[in-house]
Structure 1
Amino acid sequence: MVAAARAQQLVPLQRVLVKRLHDEEQWAQQLGHEEEHQVLSERGGYWKNVFNPAATADAGYIQARNADGSWVTPFDPASQHGFAQGSAATYLWMVPQDVQGLATAMGGSEKAATRLDAFFHKPDGSWSVRGGDALRYDPTNEPGIHAPWLYNALGRPWKTQETVRQIVDTVYGTGPAGLPGNDDLGTMSAWYVFATLGIYPKAPGSGDLLLGTPVFPVAVIAAAGDRAEITIDAPHASRTTPYVRSVTLDGAPHASSWVDASLVRRGGSLSFVVSDRADTGWATDPGSLPR
């Protein structure tokens, strides 16, 4: 019973620790505390301790472990056994601080992207983003709501763009049922705001922003104190233009699907050229992917 209780605690605790460790690692770096930064950066890779490459016959998953280090069995990706408020299939993607490492563990970015596709689609190819399927995306709770943005780090930003827009258009609405789940201090609302602005935090504690597609022709984010505001414009934004063709940052061409924290610190402008067709070339250079 003690071992079982330990297994039940392990992965739920991971959710808290991933956020807390990444927060503290980022703060340590920004404060110039290099020793602490190195220690906490290493701990940010501890997700590998609960990744079982042989969890199923054909795929690896995050899996709970017993106190003696053995895997909790039997294993079912759709089960919440050893997890909190999400299945093993959802917790698989909860590595926003090391997407490249997760892709490597899965056998490479192509295999990781194929698995991510299956997380958002049914076997017949139709969308599955409204929840209710333990093997697929659940927009109602925190463990996996960042997952649509992981495509950026896998070199497929157009899939982030179309997936986020699908969720915005079909999961969110007006009226009492306008939010997909408990707002949890504004989490669901904040997801929607970021999604419609076309930006999303790369990971907890980081000021780096992943890029999607703005819904509004222009938006201005006011800054506190004497910092400059952030302006986001996409003159042709509409329901039928969910894809990005190009981006300029402070007037200069920007060929990456993310911007670093300097935009948040100093303010500036992001300008998007959007389209009704996916551009599968923009922001796909391996050297430009989110780090």
Structure 2
Amino acid sequence: SGNASYLANGYVAYDRAFPSKGMDVDPHHGGSATLEYALADCALAQMADGLGHADDAATLRTRGGNWHKVWDADVRDAETGFTGFPRPRDENGKWYTPADGHYSPRSQHGFHEGTGWQYQWLVQQDVPGMLQAMHGREQAGKRLDAFFAYDALLQSPLTAARKEWVVGPYSYYNQYRYNPNNEPDLHSPWMYTLIGQPWKTATVVRAAQQLFTNAPNGVTGNDDLGTMSAWYLFSALGLYPAVPGSGQFLLHAPRYSKAEITLGNGRTLRLQAPGADPRSLQYIQSVQVDGKPQPAVWLDWQRLQQGGDVRFTLGAQAPEQGWGTAQADLPVSYCATPGSAQP
């Protein structure tokens, strides 16, 4: 377990020699394990807060920022020029450096079934801190564009998804693009929404949905106890739980014109998107909940479980200054880095 080093130092030390118990152990993947632990701590902090355990909540909330411990501001991706990426470090606090003396954020070292490029987005509990580490919202947006090959997606979503993204279900390493076949970056399309660019989430999600087909190999990657199927279901409904522990479901363009979810006790959640077309790129122009405008990009579970009507107005025009782009429309990060500005 990496818990001992995490509690002592704030990060899971990268140690390939750590004794395994038949398969992987977290010290073999210290970089990604630290990011996962910090995200989990922030989720637990919100639970502790809700239960009235203020001291526990404060401790866990602070640990939700431990992703900083494995963020090396000096790492540069040679091809794209972006600087600042997660990087594993050893028990003495030294950054991992391979034998050739050059660390690449595309390498497999210290990350479980992924790379620093893919795991850099696993800080959704602290969007302001992430933007600060990535040199601002504009640069973070450009980094997401490179990650998803966004310009190519606009030209031909399915072709770009099959050509530019990670294709093989087990092609984990030496990659810098989105991997729709595995868990580490499944939430990353919604990072666009969390930085105020929700129309780009719609583009990426529509492209990814086309990888799911009615065939024996119609699910991306290994379904992993229903993970990929659940991703598709949430993406098709227009609701996605991108930030663990928050109870927030981010809104995006639904795939279908109508869906109903039976919630029990006589309550039904009705999702309507007149004119929804899974073959086209469509963007949210506005949202109404029970007939009232919904400018915020999310609905929380307390509201959703009451049932009611959520109506999406979709259009072919990407509203770059419209719905979901104002700071007031975005959720506040529970574990935001102190002193960082909300997007």
Fold match by TM threshold 0.5 = yes
Q: Which runs of 5+ in 2 are unaligned?
A: 1-13, 19-26, 169-173, 333-343
Q: Greater shift after overlay, 174-183 or 256-265?
A: 256-265
Which residue does 2:148 correspond to in 1? 120
Q: CA deviation at 1:103?
A: 1.1
Q: CA deviation at 1:255?
A: 1.1
C-alpha separation between the residues in 2 aligned to 1:94 and 1:39?
20
C-alpha separation between the residues in 1 aligned to 2:146 and 2:214?
29
Which residue does 1:29 correspond to in 2? 49
Which residue does 2:171 correspond to in 1? none
Which residue does 1:186 correspond to in 2? 226
CA, structure 1 residues 124+152, in 2 after alignment: closer, same or farther (shift >3 Å)?
A: closer
Contact 2:42 2:64 (8 Å CA) reproduced: yes
Where 1:159 maps in the other structure, the secondary structure is helix
The structure 2 residue matched to 1:13, chosen from 17, 33, 36, is: 33
Count of matched residue pairs: 289
Q: Greater shift after overlay, 57-66 or 144-153?
A: 57-66
Residues 229-244 of structure 1: pairs in structure 2 closer than 5 A: 229-238=268-277, 239-240=279-280, 242-244=282-284
Q: CA deviation at 1:39?
A: 1.5
Which residue does 1:92 correspond to in 2? 120
Where 2:131 maps in the other structure, the secondary structure is helix
Which residue does 1:131 correspond to in 2? 167
Which residue does 1:252 correspond to in 2? 292
Which residue does 1:162 correspond to in 2? 203
Q: CA deviation at 1:19?
A: 4.7
Residues 59-70 of structure 1: pairs in structure 2 closer than 5 A: 59-70=83-94
C-alpha separation between the residues in 2 aligned to 1:265 and 1:27?
18
Which residue does 2:262 correspond to in 1? 222
Q: 2:326 aligned with 1:285, yes or no?
A: yes
Contact 1:61 1:77 (8 Å CA) reproduced: yes
TM-score normalized with structure 2 length: 0.78
Residues 167-178 of structure 1: pairs in structure 2 closer than 5 A: 167-169=208-210, 171-178=211-218
Contact 2:73 2:85 (8 Å CA) reproduced: yes
C-alpha separation between the residues in 2 aligned to 1:60 and 1:38?
28
Where 1:35 maps in the other structure, the secondary structure is helix
Percent of pairs with identical residues: 38
CA, structure 1 residues 40+268, in 2 after alignment: closer, same or farther (shift >3 Å)?
A: farther
Q: Residue by residue, what CA displacement relative to the aligned partner does 1:86-135 show, whole Å, maximum 9, x if unpaired?
A: 11110111112112210111111110010011000189777333535711
Q: Which runs of 5+ in 1 are unaligned?
A: none
Contact 1:131 1:137 (8 Å CA) reproduced: no
Contact 2:86 2:119 (8 Å CA) reproduced: yes
CA, structure 1 residues 118+174, in 2 after alignment: closer, same or farther (shift >3 Å)?
A: same
C-alpha separation between the residues in 2 aligned to 1:114 and 1:248?
30
Contact 1:197 1:215 (8 Å CA) reproduced: yes
CA, structure 1 residues 32+172, in 2 after alignment: closer, same or farther (shift >3 Å)?
A: same
Which residue does 1:42 correspond to in 2? 62
Q: Aligned letter for 2:89?
A: R
Contact 1:19 1:204 (8 Å CA) reproduced: yes
Contact 2:122 2:184 (8 Å CA) reproduced: yes
TM-score normalized with structure 1 length: 0.91
Contact 1:4 1:66 (8 Å CA) reproduced: no
C-alpha separation between the residues in 2 aligned to 1:9 and 1:240?
39
CA, structure 1 residues 140+112, in 2 after alignment: closer, same or farther (shift >3 Å)?
A: same
Q: Aligned letter for 1:235?
A: P
Q: CA deviation at 1:258?
A: 1.5
Where 1:222 maps in the other structure, the secondary structure is strand
Q: Residue by residue, what CA displacement relative to the aligned partner does 1:20-48 show, whole Å, maximum 9, x if unpaired?
A: 32332222122222222222111111101
Q: CA deviation at 1:3?
A: 4.8
Q: CA deviation at 1:167?
A: 0.8
